[in-house]
Amino acid sequence: MQSVAKSKKDRNTGEIVSLIGRILRENGRDYRAQYALATFCLLIIAGTAAFYAWIMRYVIDDIFYRQRADLIAVISGLILAAFAVRGAATYIQSVTMARIGNNLIARYQARIFDHLMKLGIDYFADRRSGALAAQINENVTGIRDLLGLTLTSIARDAVTLIGLLIVMVVQDPLLSGIAFLIGPPLVMGVGYLGRRLRSVTRQSVEINARLIGAMQEATQGIAVVKAFTMEQQLAARLRTLIANAEARSNKIASVTERLGPITETLAGFAIAGVIAYAGYRAISQQQPPGTVFAFITAFLLAYDPVRRLARVQVGLERALVNARMIYEILDMEPRQRDAANAGELNVRNGEVRFENVTFAYGDNHPVLNNVSFVAEAGKTTAIVGASGAGKSTLLALLERFYDVENGSILIDGQNIAAVKKSSLRESMAFVSQQPYLFEGTIRDNIRYGRPDATDDEIENAARKAEADEFVRQQPEGYETSVGENGATLSGGQRQRLSIARAIVRNAPILLLDEATSALDNESEAKVQQALTEVMRGRTTIVIAHRLSTVINADKIVVMEQGQVAEQGTHKELIAASDGIYARFYRLQTEKPEPQKAEDMLLENTATTRRET
């Protein structure tokens, strides 16, 4: 058992050293001057602590015992100077370390965000965005704490302790031996608490991340919460999470603070023993008290760095958990990497070709199975089918949000797996059925389509998307802030802004996933007319549930259970009266006869009564 415990301790110590070494290799060079200044200040602080203990002997023996008045001014001046120097060094060290820590946090926040942007859609599909953001926010301080604790414990506490120990040994080696007896049990106690704290800290981080994520989701979906009177349900759920978070925090406090009674009790034994022995010797041997006072002063001053050093491992355990979780994200390799020899996509005409494409999410049943069709250059291809047929997955694969398992997707004969993802996506404009707006102004959100777009181009795109009129009615026009995900705008208004964003991109391939689903009939008619102009000369792939919106498409691809069931124009597919498309079209366009509608209503009512 002892060998196992020793192995775990060695492994954990090695992990701390390895992680600190990695952080220093990645950041140390940029902070050399600041760390040197902070270290110099910490050494001054350590030196003044040793000086206080050393000079106490002369205060007691020369001023109080021998009553040398000529040394009062000198010794008092030295003590005053030491305090002034210590105060200045403490200020400079604290400010320097705070600036380093703040810059480290900012640096890792930017680094994590850059890395997250490189990860695929699949990574975010498995994680709640609120919990991920909370976890990153809570863990990023671990990097700062690892470096800060290490530097402070070595440059200040360890050096201070060494200086004070030298003073103690010089003053009285025997008393020093008595004081050193607290070392072994203190080390054993710290090791035990560190192991206990490691698992509790990780649990606390995960629970707090879930709590903050749940709060964020509740506030973002407040309209749904109130519409479905979910307040009590969510409140009960959050109370459970809050109780769990509180319990974990209390556990951490309980484990961490156990070090206090251990160190206080051990220090009490040592100080009592030193005072008892020193008092007995002073009375029996009539020795001047200066040496004993200097020793006791050094010992008392050494107690603080000993206590802080004892807590270093506990603090390092917590910081190690946080830093490790950050590096778990940074070390995650993107599943979709550009090929080693990937080049730029050269879009000449814009023909999109799916060849025997098969794909499944994870280990599930394939969503697409041997799909093949061509979206001809400069023409509109509509993809229709029931929910779950794989329509949106086709667009996700085309944009390489995921990679196909079998088959290939070609643009002008170029396999998209062999080109850079950035050049692939820059050649496309996308409008989803769930429009998303980002923090900022209306103009900012349209400009995300193309960062170098001029104000005139942005406003022209808004006019084509039938958005200019309502934008100018906003309090500050195009400079109006949209709120969180466009909370200040209606669904139709958000959709029109997302269409304007796609228009301003001016890409040769246009992808529309139910682009007009959030619009009323009048707005839809206007936007359809605008989209007709935008689609002219571009390869356009449209996903639609309402077949009335794709009647004029050059080709319609009908999907059923992950396969291409039919292809052709509207007229060709309607002509096949027993086909899937023809059946869908009749369901959407034909009105039931009054008697038939009444029979259906009665049947539904009877069914409802039977179920009740």
3-state secondary structure 21-77: HHHHHHHHHHHHHHHHHHHHHHHHHHHHHHHHHHHHHHHHHHHHHCCCHHHHHHHHH
Closest CA to 362 of 335, 389, 383: 335
Closest CA to 303 of 182, 145, 185, 190: 182
- C-alpha dist (Å) from residue 70 to 37, 67, 74, 83, 294: 37, 9, 8, 21, 21
Closest CA to 16 of 124, 103, 145, 137: 145
pLDDT of residue 537: 82
Same domain for 376 and 299, yes or no, is no
Whether residue 532 is contained in a domain is answered as: yes
Same domain for 395 and 290, yes or no, is no
pLDDT of residue 416: 92
Whether residue 488 is contained in a domain is answered as: no
Q: Please tell me the distance from the alpha carbon of residue 138 to that of residue 210, in angstroms, as a whole number.
A: 12
- Give the model confidence (pLDDT) of 41-68 as tens digits: 888 887 887 787 778 777 777 777 777 8
Q: What angle do CA 164, 167, 169 make, to 5 degrees?
A: 110
pLDDT of residue 352: 94
Which residue shows structure tokens 């995960």? 206
- Give the model confidence (pLDDT) of 137-188 as tens digits: 767 777 777 777 776 666 667 777 777 777 777 777 766 766 666 656 665 6
CATH number (domain holding residue 558): 3.40.50.300
Q: Could you give the dihedral angle defined by the CA atoms of residues 385, 388, 391 and 394, in that order, rounded to the nearest 10 degrees?
A: -150
Query: Which residues are registered as beta bridge partners of 539?
Result: 509
Q: Please tell me the distance from the alpha carbon of residue 584 to that of residue 211, in angstroms, as a whole number.
A: 45
pLDDT of residue 259: 63
pLDDT of residue 340: 80
Same domain for 42 and 114, yes or no, is yes
Characterize 273-291 residue by residue with b for buried, 16 or more Cβ atoms within 10 angstroms of its Cβ, and e for exposed.
Answer: ebeeebeebeeeeeeebbb
Q: Please tell me the distance from the alpha carbon of residue 577 to that of residue 579, in angstroms, as a whole number.
A: 6
CATH number (domain holding residue 297): 1.20.1560.10
Q: How far apart are the first and last CA of the chain?
A: 64
Same domain for 156 and 47, yes or no, is yes
Same domain for 318 and 368, yes or no, is no
Same domain for 370 and 246, yes or no, is no
Question: Which residues are within 8 A (CB) of 280 and not within 5 positions of it... i.e. 6 or more apart?
Answer: none
Cα-flanking dihedrals φ and ψ of residue 381, to 5°?
-115, 125
Whether residue 609 is contained in a domain is answered as: no
Question: Which residues are within 8 A (CB) of 497 and not within 5 positions of it... i.e. 6 or more apart?
Answer: 435, 437, 442, 445, 446, 462, 465, 467, 482, 486, 489
Q: Please tell me the distance from the alpha carbon of residue 433 to that of residue 364, in angstroms, as a whole number.
A: 25
Same domain for 312 and 368, yes or no, is no
pLDDT of residue 596: 42
Is residue 351 within 8 Å of residue 412, measured between CB atoms? yes
Same domain for 408 and 280, yes or no, is no
Cα-flanking dihedrals φ and ψ of residue 543, to 5°?
-105, 130
Q: What angle do CA 599, 602, 606 make, to 5 degrees?
A: 140
Same domain for 151 and 28, yes or no, is yes
- 10-residue block means of pLDDT along the chain (612 residues)? 48 69 81 86 82 78 77 85 89 86 84 82 70 70 73 70 74 68 62 62 70 72 68 80 79 68 70 71 66 71 70 69 80 78 88 93 82 92 87 90 90 91 89 81 90 91 87 90 76 84 89 76 72 81 83 90 90 85 81 44 40 38
Please give the tally of structural domains in the chain.
2
SS3 351: coil
Whether residue 8 is contained in a domain is answered as: no
Question: Which residues are within 8 A (CB) of 396 and not within 5 positions of it... i.e. 6 or more apart?
Answer: 121, 402
Closest CA to 322 of 216, 204, 214: 204
Same domain for 170 and 51, yes or no, is yes
SS3 171: helix
Whether residue 498 is contained in a domain is answered as: no
Whether residue 104 is contained in a domain is answered as: yes
- Give me the helices (H) in 259-352, please: 259-285, 290-330
Residue 322 token pair? 């946080």
Q: Please tell me the distance from the alpha carbon of residue 420 to that of residue 161, in angstroms, as a whole number.
A: 57
The secondary structure element, H or E, covering residue 509 is strand 509-513
Domain boundary among 330, 361, 396: 330
Q: Which domain holds residue 275?
A: 22-330
Q: What secondary structure does DSSP assign to 368-384, as a single string?
A: EEEEEEEE-TTSEEEEE
Q: Please tell me the distance from the alpha carbon of residue 210 to that of residue 66, in angstroms, as a whole number.
A: 68
Is residue 157 within 8 Å of residue 312, measured between CB atoms? yes
The pTM of the full predicted model, rounded to 2 decimals, is: 0.66
Query: Which residues are registered as beta bridge partners of 512?
Result: 431, 542
Same domain for 365 and 219, yes or no, is no
Same domain for 135 and 42, yes or no, is yes
SS3 556: strand
Whether residue 469 is contained in a domain is answered as: no
Whether residue 497 is contained in a domain is answered as: no
Residue 582 token pair? 């023809």
Query: Which residues are registered as beta bridge partners of 383?
Result: 543, 557
Q: Please tell me the distance from the alpha carbon of residue 380 to that of residue 377, in angstroms, as a whole number.
A: 8
Q: Please tell me the distance from the alpha carbon of residue 189 to that of residue 258, in angstroms, as a whole number.
A: 9
